[in-house]
Structure 1
Amino acid sequence: SGGYLRVEGSYVDFLRRKTELLSAQEKNEAALSNRLRRETAWLARGPKARATKARYRIEAAGSLRREVDEVKRRNNTGAKMALGFEGTKRRSKILLSAHKLAKSFAGRQIFAKLNIELSPGSCMGILGNNGSGKSTLIQILAGRLPPDAGTIKMVDGLRIVLFDQKRQELDQSQTLRRALAPEGDSVIYQGRAVHVVSWARRFLFRTDQLELPVSRLSGGEQARILLAQLMRQPADILMLDEPTNDLDIPSLEVLEEGLAEFAGAVILVSHDRFLLDSLADYIIGFDGRGGVETYADYSQWLTASQQVEKAGKRHKTKAVNTVQAVSGKPAGKKLTLGEELELKVIEDSIAEAEANLTACQASLELPEIQSKAEDLAACCVKVREAQEKVDQLYERWEELEQKSNS
């Protein structure tokens, strides 16, 4: 249901309170949406847990999805970031081909005998743990790092645009206006001039923000500046290393749409399952031990990774049992006495924390809370803190369950 904001004071006071109210509502929507993404990922991951609790999480995820939809409807956030990457419209069938690439660091093999072929309209996803070689491969394909072995062939005049984790440093003292349009009051996009005010609106910036220094902008807003700079570079291949870091929900949605419509090839390093499932034609998966395999999708990579992890645990357990047999020492307890007691009561603690979270979320719906920006902001803080408590308890519960079943 809708409502109205009543403020005693001047029009300036009204605008200030309105801005605070809208900001609090947007933060609440973002928090709920991020929680929904985590819950969906948790359910898809299928950890070891009691069936009753798994069913509860499924039902809770369904309720959360309805709540997110309702908050989005109430906020009526029709503004979207008008993101569209500029391609060169090259018609070559093969833009880049790599044959038997290999790379090692300090004697440790990162990958070997890796073959890659990129054509217009294709998207290759890359997955693996931190330090497994994902960013190294990106740097090699971008021509910034030489491979130890193998060859890379590119069409003449190939344009590669790289958006990496480090990203170029933004001048924090520079104004938003100058960061978006460094050479004047307009930018050239897809062959035509676009005024900086219109360009800023494409990325959900308000006109009154143009004279703010970059240092006053949030991490998500600064990420939008980098995307704005990326958009203005014509490319045959976009190489994106964790592009979703710091992006808010509306920007994430339009990033996906922009990449889907891009005419060139895309290399996407990301742990965002939804983004990869939506865009990637196939996945290159690193196992962290020098092995690289090709997978049809995220689920196939995840299943293979879990099988490798289980095999490693079995091998480790066998080695430990062998040492214990030789030494004659008995195996230690799975859980300490304190941990056993903690496991017995942790579900009650989770239920209590979830009841508190539900109460905090219900407070957000009260008209007397929504009509006062300060109260709404304080309520959002309580919801966030309550959600963090629930998440911490679930993580601890899973940790104890895994230790108990190991």
Structure 2
Amino acid sequence: MSTIVSLRGVAKAHGARTLFSEVALTLHEGERVGLIGANGSGKSTLLRILAGAEAPDAGERILRRQARLAWVEQQDAFPGVETVEQAAALPLAGQGLDDAQLHVRVGEALSRTGFLDPTQPVESLSGGWRKRLALARALVQEPDLLLLDEPTNHLDLESTLWLERFLQGARFAFVVISHDRAFLENTARRMIELSPAYPGCCLDVEGPYSALLERREEYRAAQAGYESALANKVRREVEWLRRGAKARTTKAKARIDEAGRLMGELARAKERNAQAGSAGIDFQGGGRQTRRLVTVENLGHDAGGRTLFDGLDLVLSPGTRLGLVGANGSGKSTLLRILAGEQEPARGAVRRAPALETAYFDQAREQLDPEESLRRALAPHGDAVVHQGRQIHVASWAKRFLFRPDQLDLPVGLLSGGEQARLLIARLMLRPADVLLLDEPTNDLDIPTLEVLEESLREFPGAVALITHDRYLLDAVSTALLGLDGQGQAVPLASLEQWDAHLREAQAPRERREAEPPRRPARRPAKKLTYKEERELEGMEAAIGEAEAALAAREEELADPAVAHVASELEARLIRRDEAQAEVDRLYARWAELEDKQAALSDPGGE
């Protein structure tokens, strides 16, 4: 395979902190590479160095002559343009292409990413479609290598699956940073983990994400054995030194030097393992033996003039780990708030065991005061917290969740999304709970933290109800799944594949209806059309076109991931979407009525 770009001995530091050093990496034509690592390990920086957008502090980047690279950043910005066609054409400015060549290149890129109307305004796009436009802007460059920095962040399941299929069919090589483990498993055929725990700061494995997990465990087992053997050797050398050995001979001097070297190597090995650490998540169970912690009977709730779910019966018992799935706005968060007792249902009952302890993780981070310091958010009443019956200093508790001592006095509002998620989990852990209710706890978490969260949820003795877009976590943790379609149905599921099949079955009749012309009511004896009705009939097609365009815009608004966690705005957009749908239905019905009336006048005898 031909090499596209190589890094040799590359190092980079931010201030006094070294991100990585001695990185050696070669990327070839057609490779599909997933890049992972803890938050702050330097993944985005490494991608910028590969793209040539940032220079390393040491080492070199070697790019094949005439190789073309394209880079899709985390934030999608399209300054100074109005339409998707103009946005996609931005990289081609100044390349000397004539109008025909430009039109073909841009048209092909937009078609491959699903755009049907090149004049569509950029400002009307949802988060998922803005990501598609960023891809189209990269594709017009006809890259040999595409670099993608966390393209799955905050995408809904539908948009993530589209991106997955798109990359599976790609003809170019790509490197993608993502925390979505199922996405990596399905798209990557080579995995690289960036961490100072590894020689050269990289663990490079041929195969998907699951292959990296196996190789990582082998490496850690080997390192543990090496560290144990090294510790035993150091212990023997220290005992020899304590016996008062004199450095009178060359042999004795060499042994003393070797003992110093071994102690230094042991210290470095322990430091590498410490740097590879992840958040220490360990939820406290309440120890309750009651079999029915929460019982839901005939539960129903409405929002925006539609039924979210109805007739729902559910029991949460110790060991139950219930995953909730469904599109944005389908009622998952509403159901969790009802289970938490923070919202009353419209119908039915929720019965809780006496003195039930519930811990609730709120996806909107509404439980955090942005002005409060990290220290006070963790320990409101002093400099210590109590976990599993013993006091722990707040600095040690913060360190367990990967916070640095210098962050303790920072306002919570200055923390990143991932740091705020870790803070909420740290506070939840201090509350003994019988039931954990977790609404998107995985947003902004890195893979090492996700792995620890997964293990903690598996071992939690109480009941768990979990909402997450992380398919890998749902598959690994859930003992049962419940699918909400937002139209009143709550479907018990055995797997995510079963939910996908249910959605396809539900979509098929709708697609058939959309493919067929509208059914018109049987003809009835009709009176003559009035002048006003004639004008109305003449303008009906245009009116329907405008109404359908308005409906499409409302559906795009509803699909915007930016409002997925804002309940009030999401409900308002659902109402607007339903009103737009009702107007389209009304116009079609009126059109059929007017045409039937006109047909009856021209053919009074019928058929």
Residues 95, 119 of structure 1: 8 Å contact kept: yes
Partner-residue secondary structure (3-state), 1:82: coil
* Cα shift readout 1:230-288 (whole Å, capped 9, x = no counterpart): 11111100011111122223222211121111111000012211111111112111112
- 1:29 and 1:118 map into 2 onto residues whose CA distance is 45
- 1:84 and 1:179 map into 2 onto residues whose CA distance is 18
2:169 aligns to what?
A: 54
The percentage of counterpart residues that share the same residue type is 39
Q: Within the alignment, does 1:25 sit opposite 2:25 as a pair?
A: no
The structural deviation recorded for 1:63 is: 11
2:504 aligns to what?
A: 306
Q: How does 1:198-217 map to 2 (within 5 A)?
A: 198-217=396-415
Greater shift in the superposed pair: 272-281 or 22-31:
22-31
Q: Within the alignment, does 1:93 sit opposite 2:291 as a pair?
A: yes
1:187 aligns to what?
A: 385
Larger-Rg structure? 2
2:15 aligns to what?
A: 16
Residues 281, 297 of structure 1: 8 Å contact kept: no
2:460 aligns to what?
A: 262
- 1:239 and 1:272 map into 2 onto residues whose CA distance is 16
Residues 43, 58 of structure 1: 8 Å contact kept: no
Partner-residue secondary structure (3-state), 1:299: helix
The structure-2 alpha-carbon separation of the partners of 1:92 and 1:17, relative to structure 1 and needing over 3 Å to count, comes to same
Q: 1:162 aligns with which of 353, 360, 383?
A: 360
1:71 aligns to what?
A: 194
Structure having the higher strand fraction is: 2
Residues 96, 154 of structure 1: 8 Å contact kept: yes
After TM superposition, the score normalised by the length of structure 1 is 0.67
Amino acid at match of 2:169: A
Partner-residue secondary structure (3-state), 2:366: coil
Partner-residue secondary structure (3-state), 1:179: helix
Amino acid at match of 1:208: D
The structure-2 alpha-carbon separation of the partners of 1:106 and 1:224, relative to structure 1 and needing over 3 Å to count, comes to closer
Q: Within the alignment, does 1:235 sit opposite 2:433 as a pair?
A: yes
- 2:444 and 2:185 map into 1 onto residues whose CA distance is 26
Residues 164, 186 of structure 2: 8 Å contact kept: no
Partner-residue secondary structure (3-state), 1:187: strand
2:599 aligns to what?
A: none
The structural deviation recorded for 1:227 is: 1.3
The structural deviation recorded for 1:96 is: 1.4
Amino acid at match of 2:310: A
The structural deviation recorded for 1:306 is: 2.1
The structure-2 alpha-carbon separation of the partners of 1:68 and 1:38, relative to structure 1 and needing over 3 Å to count, comes to farther
> What is the RMSD computed on CA atoms of the aligned residues?
4.0
Partner-residue secondary structure (3-state), 1:69: strand
1:119 aligns to what?
A: 317
The structural deviation recorded for 1:320 is: 4.9
The structure-2 alpha-carbon separation of the partners of 1:114 and 1:215, relative to structure 1 and needing over 3 Å to count, comes to closer
Amino acid at match of 1:230: L
Residues 481, 493 of structure 2: 8 Å contact kept: yes
2:224 aligns to what?
A: none
**Which is bigger in relative contact order (C-alpha 8 A, separation at least 6)?**
1
Residues 418, 445 of structure 2: 8 Å contact kept: yes
- 2:349 and 2:14 map into 1 onto residues whose CA distance is 60
Gaps of 5+ in 1: 7-13, 332-406
- 2:306 and 2:518 map into 1 onto residues whose CA distance is 26
Greater shift in the superposed pair: 74-83 or 108-117:
74-83
The structure-2 alpha-carbon separation of the partners of 1:319 and 1:230, relative to structure 1 and needing over 3 Å to count, comes to farther
Amino acid at match of 1:86: Q
- 2:415 and 2:342 map into 1 onto residues whose CA distance is 31
* Cα shift readout 1:59-111 (whole Å, capped 9, x = no counterpart): 98679746543434425651110001111011112211112111223542221
The structure-2 alpha-carbon separation of the partners of 1:309 and 1:224, relative to structure 1 and needing over 3 Å to count, comes to same
The structural deviation recorded for 1:120 is: 0.5
Greater shift in the superposed pair: 118-127 or 144-153:
144-153
* Cα shift readout 1:24-44 (whole Å, capped 9, x = no counterpart): 6254589879569999x8999
The structure-2 alpha-carbon separation of the partners of 1:208 and 1:194, relative to structure 1 and needing over 3 Å to count, comes to same
Greater shift in the superposed pair: 111-120 or 62-71:
62-71
* Cα shift readout 1:106-125 (whole Å, capped 9, x = no counterpart): 54222111110111011111
The structure-2 alpha-carbon separation of the partners of 1:297 and 1:38, relative to structure 1 and needing over 3 Å to count, comes to farther
Q: How many corresponding residue pairs?
A: 319
1:386 aligns to what?
A: none
The structure-2 alpha-carbon separation of the partners of 1:44 and 1:109, relative to structure 1 and needing over 3 Å to count, comes to closer
Amino acid at match of 2:396: S
The structural deviation recorded for 1:184 is: 1.3
- 1:24 and 1:190 map into 2 onto residues whose CA distance is 31
Amino acid at match of 1:243: P
Residues 83, 255 of structure 1: 8 Å contact kept: yes
Partner-residue secondary structure (3-state), 2:363: coil
Amino acid at match of 1:274: Y
Q: 2:488 aligns with which of 274, 290, 295?
A: 290
Q: Within the alignment, does 1:102 sit opposite 2:102 as a pair?
A: no
Amino acid at match of 2:355: G
- 2:488 and 2:158 map into 1 onto residues whose CA distance is 28
The structural deviation recorded for 1:196 is: 1.2
Partner-residue secondary structure (3-state), 1:113: strand
Amino acid at match of 1:159: E
After TM superposition, the score normalised by the length of structure 2 is 0.46
Residues 283, 301 of structure 1: 8 Å contact kept: no
